[in-house]
Amino acid sequence: MITLRGKGVSEGVAFGKLFFTRDHTANAVRTASGDAELELRRLKDAMKLASEQLEKLYAAALDAVGEKEAEIFQIHQLMLEDDDYQDFIRNMIESEKVNAESAVSAAADNFAQMFSEMDDPYMQGRTVDVRDISGRITRALMGEEDDQTSLSEKHIVGAEDITPSQALQLDKSLAMGFVTVGGSQTSHTAILARTMNVPAVIGVKELLCPEYEGLDCIADGFTGVVYLDPDEATIALYKAKEAELREKARLLEQMKGEKTATLSGQQIRLYANIGGLADIDAVLANDAEGVGLFRTEFIFLESERCPTEDEQFAIYKEALERLKCPIVFRTMDIGADKQAPWLSLKQEENPALGLRGARLCLARRELFEAQLRALYRASAFGKAAIMFPMIISKNEVLEIKEIAQNVRAGLTESGIAFDPSVELGVMIETPASVMISGELAEEVDFFSIGTNDLTQYTLALDRQNKELDRFYDPHHPAVIRMIRMVAQNAHAKGIWVGICGELGADMGLTDVFVEMGIDELSVSPSKILGIRAKVRAHP
Ligand code: PEP
Ligand code: MG
């Protein structure tokens, strides 16, 4: 048995074989081959194999999900056969006498760059595809199995790091846990793991040892310990722990249907955070009273291109209709660690301080207006509210309100139904917005405090930087005082205030939040019943 240690960031216990996922083109090592003939033959064989895999994937996808979804594999096939792409690789092998892997890797970089600089959003979307097919060829060259075809059994995903878009693409019925070398407590991948209720361990330094691949693995998302090839006693211990967790969950079932109110009768709304339609079942299963944060950007990250207004409308409408409870939609908070390749955002020195959230929405107004139209159209089918992330000034709020007003006017003119009473709110996640929360409260219907970013910006700590995890302290008095100040300013102006950052689920603070008069806590679905029990025990 091998024991590795990291940090648990999503509670639970996962069993499965360890499976590594990696960006193969990034790992391709450049070596001088000297034998161009040999490398060209290897390339030809790898391309043939990749092409056969794509044919199989197309046929399987056609059966499973239909023609529209399967089309992507035909596009990959065409890209693979593209003369320019193939010539680039062959020329490099012949002229620079390098191995085929590094020529494929260079082609991936070259074509990805070219696509990302195109104006047409469809062509920008091909950036991901050219990387994907290049990775497939590289895997074939290295004699490794195809990622997608080998993922047929329950497993634990191991990686250097997992981006939010990779996490969203994993088959959730098979990926039982995440274990990574990098990552941080409030990175979006850790948040996604908690929303999906998938145990996750980060910061496991020695993880990526090739001999570990395929070993039986147990990942403990509480303690951050990972066991490979576990012995009988450890398996028995964790089976018992799993049974205990099931029993705890069974006991919490009693909280279903109960009011979230303290013993003295103070009510608090207990809502769930979601990233898409896939999380709706968990919201219903855990008896959340509503959704306090729908991270709509995940719809954009999951997509190969910009989702159209109609596609977005269909998703928002379905969420409202299936949940039949209030939903606070956050407009796309893209930027920093949440990158949509088709948007081709410029690389930034400090992405967390860059063009993200509301700033991006105001810079790319056509995207923002389409999203607002889709959200307002969906509001005719349930109780929707809309909030805006990363606000720092009253001017931004005024500009956003004017855009929303124009969107409403356009819909009215076209005779399209929407709910005119949709509440508009802002996220309080920058120190600037805290300090002007009194003024902001005059402009909006509610506040939702994003403690993940508020902690990052208040403590000047990059939430993505795993080296800083031990300094990242959301209990810091500066953060707690800011939350109190925002609650006081909101209530003084008669608007409601919620917490939708991860701190909302911190049961060590539930009593404090109740005492501050926080009106709504929005947390991962799996935390709902435990917090309800905690609130009900409060005097
Ligand atoms: C936050 O910052 O607390 C928040 C809820 O938004 P996100 O984690 O998506 O940045
Ligand atoms: Mg945030």
For residues 446 and 389, membership in a common domain is answered with: yes
**429 Cα to the center of ligand 2, angstroms:** 6
Quick: pLDDT tens for 315-366: 999 999 999 999 999 999 998 888 887 777 788 888 899 999 999 999 999 9
The whole-number pLDDT of residue 148 equals: 46
Token pair, residue 262, equals 């303290």
Average predicted confidence (pLDDT) for the chain: 90
Question: Which tokens in the block code for residue 403?
Answer: 């855009």
Task: Based on the fold, state whether residues 420 and 272 are members of the same structural domain.
Answer: yes
**Pocket probe mutation, ligand 1, options 427, 449, 523, 524, max atoms within 8 Å of Cβ:** 427
Return d(Cα 305, Cα 301) in angstroms, integer.
9
Average pLDDT over residues 221-247: 95
Q: Could you tell me if 414 and 322 lie in one domain?
A: yes
Q: What is the pLDDT of residue 190?
A: 84
User: How does pLDDT run across 363-419, given as a tens digit for each residue?
Assistant: 999 999 999 999 999 999 999 999 999 999 999 999 999 999 999 999 999 999 999
Pocket (CB within 6 angstroms of ligand 1)? 191, 293, 295, 333, 429, 450-453, 500-501
Question: In the prediction, which pLDDT does 455 show?
Answer: 95
Residue nearest to atom 10 of ligand 1 (CA): 453
In degrees, rounded to 5, the angle at the alpha carbon of residue 202 between the alpha carbons of residues 356 and 207 is 125
Q: Kindly report the pTM of this predicted structure.
A: 0.76
* pLDDT band at 29; cut points 50, 70, 90: low
Q: Does the pLDDT at position 222 exceed 80?
A: yes
pLDDT at position 169 is 63
Whether 406 and 364 map to the same domain: the answer is yes
- pLDDT tens for each residue of 379-389: 999 999 999 99
pLDDT in tens, 428-486: 999 999 999 999 999 999 999 999 999 999 999 988 887 888 888 889 999 999 999 99
Hey, what's the torsion of the CAs at 176, 194, 525, 532, to 10 degrees? 120
Burial class (CB in 10 A: 0-12, 13-18, 19+), 319: buried
Instruction: Report the atom number in ligand 1 closest to the C-alpha of 191.
Output: 8
**Which of 211, 43, 58 lies closest to 138, judged by CA?**
43
pLDDT for the residue 195: 82
Q: What is the pLDDT of residue 390?
A: 96
Same domain assignment for residues 158 and 305: no
The residue with greater pLDDT, 189 or 79, is: 79
| Position 31 in a domain | yes
Helix pair 232-252, 528-536: axis angle to 10 deg? 60
Nearest atom, ligand 1, residue 429 CA: 2
Is pLDDT larger for residue 164 or for residue 97? 97
Do 123 and 5 have their domain in common? no
Q: What is the DSSP letter of 255?
A: G
Q: Do 14 and 26 fall into the same domain?
A: no
The count of domains in the chain is: 3
Q: Residue 17: beta bridge partners?
A: 155, 216
In a domain, residue 379? The reply is yes
For residues 519 and 206, the model is more confident at: 519
Distance 226 CA to ligand 2 centre (A): 30
Mean pLDDT for the stretch of residues 58-64: 72
Sign of the Cα torsion 14, 16, 18, 21 reads negative
> Looking at the domain assignment, is residue 253 inside a domain?
no
Q: 514 CA to middle of ligand 2, Å? A: 22
Which numbered atom of ligand 1 lies nearest the CA of 333?
A: 9
> Rounded mean pLDDT of 50-72?
76
Question: CA-CA distance, 282 to 291, in Å (whole number)?
Answer: 11
Residues 342 and 453 reside in one and the same domain? yes
Residue 241 alpha carbon to ligand 2 centre in Å = 33
- 281 CB burial (10 A radius; 0-12, 13-18, 19+): exposed
Give 500 Cα–ligand 1 centroid separation in angstroms.
7
pLDDT of residue 510: 97
Neighbours of ion ligand 2 (CB under 5 A): 429, 450, 453
Sign, Cα dihedral of 58, 62, 68, 69: negative
* 141, 104 contact by CB (below 8 A): yes
- pLDDT band for position 145 (cuts 50, 70, 90): low
Q: Quick one: 7 and 46 in the same domain?
A: no
Confidence (pLDDT) at 306: 86
Does 226 score more than 70 pLDDT? yes
Q: Give the percent of the chain with pLDDT over 90.
A: 67
Kindly state whether residues 373 and 465 are assigned to the same domain: yes
Crossing angle for the helix pair 83-96 and 100-116, to the nearest 10 degrees: 130
CA 253 to CA 59: how far, in whole Å?
43
Instruction: Work out which ligand 1 atom sits closest to the CA atom of 336.
Output: 10
Q: Which of 429, 433, 455 to mutate for ligand 1's pocket (most ligand atoms within 8 Å of CB)?
A: 429
| 332 in any annotated domain | yes
In this structure, of 170-174, 268-272, 438-442, 533-537, the range with the lowest mean pLDDT score is: 170-174
In a domain, 250, yes or no: no
Same domain, 365 and 285: yes
Residue-level pLDDT at 296: 96
Q: Which residues pair with 245 in a beta bridge?
A: none
- In this structure, the answer to whether residues 368 and 491 fall within a common structural domain is yes
Determine, yes or no, domain membership for 34: yes
Single out the residue of 140, 35, 52, 47 nearest to residue 97, CA to CA: 35
Residue 383 lies in a domain: yes
Which CATH number does the domain housing residue 326 bear? Answer: 3.20.20.60
Report the share of the chain in percent with pLDDT over 70.
93
Quick one: pLDDT at residue 149? 40
Question: Has residue 267 got a pLDDT over 50?
Answer: yes
Least confident of 47-61, 278-292, 417-431, 467-481: 47-61
Give the structural domain span for 529.
265-536
**Residue 230 sits in a domain of what CATH number?**
3.50.30.10
Contact 144, 323 (CB under 8 A): no
Catalytic residue annotation: 188, 500
When pLDDT is cut at 50, 70 and 90, the band that residue 161 belongs to is confident
In a domain, 251, yes or no: no
Question: Which of 74-78, 199-203, 375-379 is least confident?
Answer: 74-78
User: CATH number for the domain including 96?
Assistant: 1.10.274.10
